[in-house]
């Protein structure tokens, strides 16, 4: 038995981004026994640590959950692939490593006491280690490693020149809140000297020698168990059930000590799913699956948000095939070039240090307000308008001995998307994936599709700028025949894919009266439960206009302090009061 009948002060469910942060912080107090249960394996692998390995991680049979949305009629009856990491480190092991917090207005817009930009800045900065040194908006000496990208390609400069020629300004720090987010530039990355600095490597691994922290991998939590005492306004968790060895493997129970807490960190899909399986969610849905209701909270699984994404791409004249990032990594037989490996091993530089999309821009397509569009520029040609299918096509080309053609790609993301989806039960069986309704373009004013449509028009201007003229770009996606808005919109709906920014499914709110709120913004406790908190990307109420890893670490850092401070206020006294 991996838990040997022990009792724990904290059971952390999910060893991903947030789980690694809280497991480190909570186990720093040697008097507390902490258990971390992670469904996947450890995050020790070269595919993870070398940033360019990202291309192998999408739909990875072990390190990715392989989640698909339910059929989306508005997207020509497609199912959308939703990448989620499955290992210690979670999605921080499989993500693109971009460090973009979004803007101060994003956090002010949450309208929650204690979570305004002036509050959260401290948590962002305390978490951060940014080697160029302290700046008003950057921290040094924290656990989260942040640096500038290390791979240079001539096409990055051409992109900057093209962006400037259409009137965009250079922004040398998208995380500096003393200026508008708008502009083009380099995105900072969560790396340490060119290696992926995922939260397993940075937060969890150094804490794993602590005797009071037990980490169990291959342990899939299936349910939170509750005491179910009648007449109590708040129900109390007594532990969690989990299996090792998969669906038909061994089943175990991990128990909480008398003042213990369950800390949910299974991510924006699995945290609401596990709550629902445990009887916490909309009563009607739970009862329709025969699950007794512990807390009737219809907000669990609602409010799912993401950054819907599309790709513009242009081919270059064949003589420029060898200047792209892909040509810097692969030779004509599609083997990794020794030069790329040597640069990586002996200087932590070169194309293996990049996930490919660390240059780009933020801009407002309407010319008003906050940027609604992020462009992630790739110095290479996407083989498919869906970035993930591009890698799968490459695998097929490789088998046929064909080399990757040259060109550029601009991945377009609607970063302040207005559409909302949901995560709901398909079955009471914990091994059946939930129904994920990603629901892109459901916003009543069609703002998200308009953002991407305008993104295509801007991309055409950039690719058509003088900076790229000598390369003879020929538009591949959306394709020059698509000139009318309706045609572009159709292409968007046929090719939209996930920007991998799932959040919001257990959103924070002031009080249980705040409709749709699941956890309290004061202490991240689930309403109606005495000792269950959510500390991951699920609690983010409104998606920030930047990749969501930084915001998740900020939430988890803060959550750990909230957990520790209420433990020091003696829950026993509070309970009897
Ligand atoms: P996760 O990190 O996903 O962790 C959840 C963990 O819980 C996982 O380890 C999972 O295996 C585990 N788990 C789930 N269910 C169970 C269960 N039943 N029992 C036990 N364990 C369970 N963000 C950025 O900032 N920059 C980027 O460039 C970026 N690019 C991305 C690219 C991709 C392909 C992906 C997938 C994400 C990307 N993100 C990016 C988003 C960012 O990584 C996430 O927002 C962040 O990691 C979410 O953290 P989390 O703790 O909520 O969930």
Using one digit for the tens of pLDDT, what is the confidence trace for 396-430? Answer: 887 888 888 999 999 999 999 999 999 999 999 99
Mutate to test the pocket of ligand 1, among 88, 90, 240 (most ligand atoms within 8 A of CB): 90
Across 337-351, 389-403, 499-513, least confident range: 389-403
Does position 365 have pLDDT exceeding 70, yes or no? yes
**Can you tell me the mean pLDDT for 551-574?**
80
Does position 573 have pLDDT exceeding 60, yes or no? no
Mutate to test the pocket of ligand 1, among 266, 271, 307, 540 (most ligand atoms within 8 A of CB): 266
- Residue 569 pLDDT class (50, 70, 90 cuts): low
| Atom number, ligand 1, closest to the C-alpha of residue 82 | 36
Rounded distance from Cα 537 to ligand 1 centre (Å): 8
**Can you tell me the mean pLDDT for 230-238?**
86
**Can you tell me the mean pLDDT for 206-230?**
94
**Can you tell me the mean pLDDT for 61-78?**
98
Rounded distance from Cα 576 to ligand 1 centre (Å): 37
Q: What is the dihedral angle through the alpha carbons of 162, 163, 166, 167, rounded to the nearest 10 degrees?
A: -140
Across 197-201, 299-303, 509-513, 558-562, least confident range: 509-513
Rounded distance from Cα 164 to ligand 1 centre (Å): 34
Q: Would strands 407-414 and 422-424 be described as parallel, antiparallel, or unpaired?
A: unpaired
Average pLDDT, rounded, for the chain: 95
Share of the chain above pLDDT 90, in %: 90
Using one digit for the tens of pLDDT, what is the confidence trace for 386-395? Answer: 977 887 788 7
Does position 566 have pLDDT exceeding 50, yes or no? yes
Pocket residues for ligand 1 (CB within 6 Å)? 13-19, 37-40, 83-87, 90-92, 94-98, 220-221, 265-268, 270, 274, 500-501, 536-537, 547-550, 552
- Using an 8 Å Cβ cutoff, are 190 and 144 in contact? yes
Does position 268 have pLDDT exceeding 80, yes or no? yes
* Three-class SS state of 91: helix
Strand positions, DSSP E, 415-557: 422-424, 435-437, 474-477, 497-498, 508-509, 519-520, 532-534
- Residue 568 has a pLDDT of 63
- Residue 390 has a pLDDT of 84
Does position 129 have pLDDT exceeding 60, yes or no? yes
Does position 571 have pLDDT exceeding 70, yes or no? no
Using one digit for the tens of pLDDT, what is the confidence trace for 515-545? Answer: 999 999 999 999 999 999 999 999 999 999 9
DSSP codes, 275-312? HHHTTEE-HHHHHHTTPPPSEE-TTTT-SBB--EEEEE
Within 13 Å, how many C-alpha atoms sit on residue 12's CB side?
35
| Atom number, ligand 1, closest to the C-alpha of residue 90 | 9
Q: Give start and end residues of each alpha helix (H) in 28-78.
A: 46-49
Closest Cα to atom 39 of ligand 1: 95
Using one digit for the tens of pLDDT, what is the confidence trace for 24-67? Answer: 999 999 999 999 999 999 989 999 999 999 999 999 999 999 99
**Cα–Cα dist 444/441, whole Å:** 8
- Residue 144 has a pLDDT of 98
**Cα–Cα dist 360/412, whole Å:** 10
Mutate to test the pocket of ligand 1, among 40, 91, 254, 264 (most ligand atoms within 8 A of CB): 91
Mutate to test the pocket of ligand 1, among 3, 95, 357 (most ligand atoms within 8 A of CB): 95
Using one digit for the tens of pLDDT, what is the confidence trace for 549-560? Answer: 999 999 999 999
Closest Cα to atom 11 of ligand 1: 86
φ, ψ of residue 94 in degrees (nearest 5)? -120, 0
Q: Would strands 308-315 and 81-82 be described as parallel, antiparallel, or unpaired?
A: unpaired
**Can you tell me the mean pLDDT for 72-96?**
98
**Can you tell me the mean pLDDT for 501-508?**
98
The DSSP symbol for 189 reads: B
Closest Cα to atom 22 of ligand 1: 14
Across 41-50, 279-288, 369-378, 393-402, least confident range: 393-402
Using one digit for the tens of pLDDT, what is the confidence trace for 5-29? Answer: 899 999 999 999 999 999 999 999 9
Give which of 139, 144, 114 is closest to 126, Cα–Cα.
139
């Amino acid at each position: 038995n991996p838990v040997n009948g022990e009792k724990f002060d904290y059971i952390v469910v999910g060893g991903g981004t947030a789980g690694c942060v809280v497991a480190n912080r909570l186990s720093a107090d040697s008097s507390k026994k902490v258990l971390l249960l992670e469904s996947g394996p450890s995050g020790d692998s070269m595919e993870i640590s070398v940033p360019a390995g990202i291309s192998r991680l999408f739909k990875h049979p072990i390190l990715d959950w392989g989640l698909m949305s339910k059929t989306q009629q508005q997207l020509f009856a497609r199912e959308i692939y939703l990448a989620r990491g499955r290992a210690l480190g979670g999605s921080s092991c499989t993500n693109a490593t971009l460090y973009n917090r979004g803007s101060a207005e994003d956090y002010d817009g949450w309208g929650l006491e204690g979570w305004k930009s002036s509050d959260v800045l401290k948590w962002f900065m305390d978490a951060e280690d940014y080697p160029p040194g302290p700046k008003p908006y950057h921290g040094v000496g924290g656990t989260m490693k942040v640096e500038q990208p290390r791979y240079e390609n001539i096409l990055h400069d051409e992109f900057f020149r093209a962006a400037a020629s259409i009137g965009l300004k250079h922004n040398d720090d998208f995380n500096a809140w003393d200026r508008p987010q708008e502009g083009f530039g380099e995105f900072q990355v969560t790396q340490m000297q060119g290696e992926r600095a995922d939260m397993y490597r940075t937060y969890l691994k150094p804490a794993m020698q602590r005797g009071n922290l037990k980490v169990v991998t291959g342990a899939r939590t299936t349910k939170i168990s509750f005491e179910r005492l009648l007449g109590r306004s708040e129900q109390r968790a007594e532990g969690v059930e989990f299996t090792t060895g998969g669906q038909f493997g061994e089943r175990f129970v991990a128990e909480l000590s008398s003042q213990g807490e369950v800390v949910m960190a299974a991510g924006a899909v699995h945290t609401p799913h596990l709550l629902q399986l445990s009887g916490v969610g909309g009563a009607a849905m739970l009862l329709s699956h025969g699950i007794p209701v512990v807390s009737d909270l219809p907000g669990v699984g609602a409010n799912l948000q993401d950054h819907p994404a599309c790709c513009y791409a242009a081919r270059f004249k064949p003589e420029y095939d060898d200047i792209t990032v892909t040509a810097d990594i692969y030779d004509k037989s599609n083997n990794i070039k020794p030069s790329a490996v040597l640069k990586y091993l002996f200087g932590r530089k070169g194309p293996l240090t990049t996930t490919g999309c660390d240059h780009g821009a933020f801009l407002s397509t309407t010319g008003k307000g906050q940027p609604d569009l992020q462009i992630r520029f790739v110095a290479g040609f996407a083989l498919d308008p869906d970035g993930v299918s591009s890698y799968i096509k490459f695998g097929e080309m490789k088998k046929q001995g064909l080399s990757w053609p040259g060109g550029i790609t601009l991945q377009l993301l609607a970063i302040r998307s207005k559409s909302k989806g949901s995560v709901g039960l398909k079955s009471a069986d914990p091994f059946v994936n939930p129904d994920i309704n990603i629901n892109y373009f459901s916003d009543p004013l069609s703002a998200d599709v308009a953002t991407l449509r305008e993104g295509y028009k801007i991309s055409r201007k950039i690719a058509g700028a003088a900076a790229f003229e000598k390369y003879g770009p020929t538009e591949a996606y959306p394709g020059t025949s698509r000139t009318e808005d309706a045609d572009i919109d159709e292409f968007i709906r046929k090719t939209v894919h996930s920007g991998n920014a799932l959040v919001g499914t257990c959103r924070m709110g002031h009080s249980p009266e705040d409709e749709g709120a699941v956890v309290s913004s004061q202490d991240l406790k689930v309403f109606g439960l005495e000792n269950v908190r959510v500390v991951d990307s699920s609690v983010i109420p409104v998606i920030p206009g930047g990749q969501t890893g930084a915001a998740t670490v900020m939430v988890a850092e803060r959550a750990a302090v909230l957990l520790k401070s209420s433990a020091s206020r003696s829950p026993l006294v509070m309970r009897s009061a």
